[in-house]
Structure 1
Amino acid sequence: MTTEVSTGIQYRHLFIHFIRNWNLYNDDDELNLSAQLLSTRVFIVTLSLALFMILSFTAAIPQSRAITVDSPSVSDFENITNRYPNAFTCRCSQMSFPYKQFFSFNPQFHQVCSSDLISEEWISSLFNVTTSNYYPLDFRLMASAQFQVLSALCRIVRNIVSDAVNEFSATIFVSPRALSRTIFDTYTDTLVDQFNKTTLENFRTLNGFISSIIDESRFISALRTNFYTRSVPDSGNYTTFSGIYPQKVNLTQSSFMSNKTCRCDQTSNCIYPAGIYNQSKAIIPNEAFSNDASLLFAVPGVQVGCVPQNALLQSTLECFYNQSCLDIVITLTGALRTVSALNISNSISRFHPTTTIGDIFDNLMLESWQIFPDFAAYFNICAPAACSYSYIQRFFFIYMITVAASLFGGLSVALHIGCSLLVKFISKISYQQTRTLTADEERESSRSYRDRVWNMVRIAYEKVTTFNLFKTALTDVEQGIYSTRVYILFLMVGVYVLTIYSTKVIGSKQVIVQNPSINQFEELNKMYSSILSCPCSRLSMPRSTFMHYEVQFHPFCTSRFIRDELWLQYWTMEFLNGTIDPTPSFYWADFRKNGLTFLNYIRILCEFSTATVSNVLNAFEAENYFSSQPITKLEFNQLTHNWTDSFIVQVKKGIKDCLTICFSIH
């Protein structure tokens, strides 16, 4: 223990002795030993202070660091975007690609569309050669036709959803830069919501248009449910009569009977609760259908009416969720016995058993869209070759050391020379103060001003010509002097080169303009388009915030020809008050006979065009525009022009597709 303490004391004494006798000027013959030691200490102190000031200054200066990551993975990219959400750039190697490459679709339909209730076996089992003999209020008359319609509705919605998904999947997504997961999720959520909404609105418009065309066409059902004919005795002619349905809500409660009736020549939406009756009866012209026959079973939720599809849309499937109810229907109709009831405990269904089929159909019979965007797939397709990001850092150790090391050489030489001169100057002043004033006056008076100047020049010349920084390194004095001159020459050349270089190098200066105006942005973009950065405070906004369309339709669509009730009453002859035959017999080609139908078709087309344009326009204006940086006025005008062209194409395509479907039905 004593040995360790004595060794420590010995090292401390050696260190103190070294510091006290550290001499960096032992080769300067003009300084005595004490002046050399003083110069060394002054040099060490001033050099330390200078380095401390340099390090403090460089530590306080904010440094912008730019980092580039080559071929980043998804995890690398997400780390970058999470840490530097507003200061990263990742250009996609593939800037455009269809949605189908990173979207997956698995739409789920109502379970009835995959049940036995729409199978050919079930539908065929509900029909037989005597089906048309049943009374219009009997479930068995319309059952087969209604389930055929239900099967057709399922096929229609599957085709519509499939076409919409295919069209959406083929849409090209343009992404010059890789989107962060947050922006990607926001964008795709908005995109999916808009797709769902647009698909539903377009479908409802198409469905309404086709329904209006069918209603106006007044098709006669082969089941005699909306119109039926009777021969005129002894004439060979036939008269067509309209079906008349009583207004009754519930077959099991006679108190709900009403004297009101619904005529199929006025509307095709007349309905009546379906039942299975013990016997059939003849239809009496111009009288409402009655249910005088004994009722065997009232089918819950099912309606009969003028036409199978309209009655079906106002029906529910509640009976077919109940196996007991379905068994009774099967027994009384002789239908296929292997059919099972729908699963009422299906937890994924958003439709209640008492929901009308019309409401289910109006929602495309979809339980859920199940559209899944895949960020990893998107990023792999984007495949940025490199991602760069920048951040501000203080106390950047490498920068501090680099600056200090670059200045250390010149600074140490300058201070080494300056400190010795300072000590010599102070020593000389002290020496002169020790001389008497008289001796100074005698010496100064004996020398003229010119001699004193010449003496100073001579001394300076001798100092310069004999200046030697390598007294200890080189024993030859002449070589030391020449080496010193070469060293100073190279030092001056280096300083000159650095000065010229610093004047030529373009410095990067960050200027922040708070809340710039449009004019300021345009000016800055003209001057600094390649380096200008203006992060948007809102990454997305609906197009309706900066775009608005006003659509002008043909004046006939707003004219009195299809809007004025008095004008339309003329074609039904209701204004004649019986003074003239209210149903005159015109020639079949007479415009007075078909004029109302003609005007109604135009009205339907006008309403359809208005609804189609409105749907496309609403979807267009509601669609979000994503941009992390503002664009110039020229780019904005070009972008909106392209959008307008696309909008017009969508409207024309939507109307053309609907008309094609309508004509194919006819």
Structure 2
Amino acid sequence: MLIDYRLHNYENIYLPIDLSNITALDANDIITFRPEDTLEELKSAAFVNQWTYIGNYTLYYAQCQPEICTYTIDKELPSFARINLVLGLIGGLSVVLRLLVPSFIKTIYLIYYLYHQQTRDAPLRWRMVITHIRDKIYFINVYRSKREVERQYLATRIYIVLLILYFVIISVFIRFQQRTILISIDSPNEAYFSFFHDQYSDSLSCPCTNISIPIMNFSISSLTFQECYTQIMSQPLLATLSLPDNIFWEAPGWDRITEQFRILYTQFSLFQLRLLQRQFIINDARLVSVEAMTSETFNVWFSLFITQIDKSSMISSVDAYKLISDILQANQFHNRYMTSWKTEFSSFDENYILRNSPVILNNGTCSCPSGQSNCTEILIYYDWMGSPHVFPGIMVGYSSMSGLSQSTFECFYDDDCVYKLNTVLGTSFTKLNLNAAYIPPTAPIKSIMNEYLPVSLNLTANYSTYFQICTPSTCQYHYMEQHNFVYIFTTLLGLYGGLTAGLYIFVWQLLGLSKLIVKCYSRLLQRVHPSS
């Protein structure tokens, strides 16, 4: 608990806090965090208690803009329609059989009779059969009246021609007319779903039984720690130590070594915390899908989901630290170690005014406020005998983060360098295992953080598990096909009864009307006109 606020480097000067104004926090107001969470965990989440997402369905629908909506209703034919259909088929079938069966039997009998007439040759027998069929067609009469026989023959011929023409037109129309075939499959498995999707991807519909599925139900996540991370985090915390007084460090910079190591430990810790935060997000995320997805669509969605998590992550501490450093440099603000700008008195000629001067590194070739990445240098220390020593790979730059980014772990892979480091700092560092780290000793720490990822989150998804949870109860698909000849025959058969009755009356009345018109016209022509 914070009791007082002490000014930096002034232990005897502090500002007391009025404890009467401090009230206890309410644990019920905490949603994401727990009372026992450390400040490091709260800082890694930017002290955000809960993210609230609000969606506007009206805006979504306005952007969706569906052009057309279709739906299917399964409905049985009404009772009167079914009765009408059955009666039509029975009527048409009875009429056709009544006309065709007697003629067919007579024709078969005639063929059988002529076939057994051995006295006649085959061509003659076939000519007689053809002549018989022609006479039957020529003298066919559907009216069966004892008067006006010639008119009956003519009406029958017109009736047959119109009937055949009607059948041809209707058959062609129905043949080239397409119909929609709807197929339903109950409780399809993954293999059937994949097969039907390959065949009927445009019309297949498989609604999920569970449309909202927690992602962790079909995915596995794990944290992987690189060997370098494990070895470095197992070293003694240099940030808690203070430098010995009997060592002379070449200015500027060795007072910053503890700060850089503190940042290193913090960065590696934040890697783990950040990935744990992502894992918390994944644990709360859900896949919402009305329709079952294919394995290809599922894999694409999962990749986009991982990418979206990476994009939605808060700014990394490395970027935040660099942003703060750039702001400090651009505005000539001082940091604790005055790595970019330093305050010093001018010369006697300028009356010793206090001014800001840029820190120069690399033998005066690099100005730290410029923010150049190569604005670093290796520090030198002198032992009690005045002998200079360096630690390979340990750099300082225009900021603590810059020096750490350009530094390497080269010293920690060398026995002699580790011994010197422990002697100078009074620590107990151990040599890192080069064979287990899989990282080049000369690799900058920045590249290790960006490329090698000391801590990585491995997330894999199982499509089969997802499909089992989705469990579509029914899949439906439809396709278009032309009517076959069986459908055409049954349709014409159903229409035959009404058609024959209608044509029967229509043709007879039409001939009667035509005869009346011709008779009236003939009388007009025979009328005698008196001459003037």
TM-score normalised by the chain length of structure 2: 0.50
- Which one scores higher on RCO, CA 8 angstroms, separation ≥ 6? 2
TM-score normalised by the chain length of structure 1: 0.42
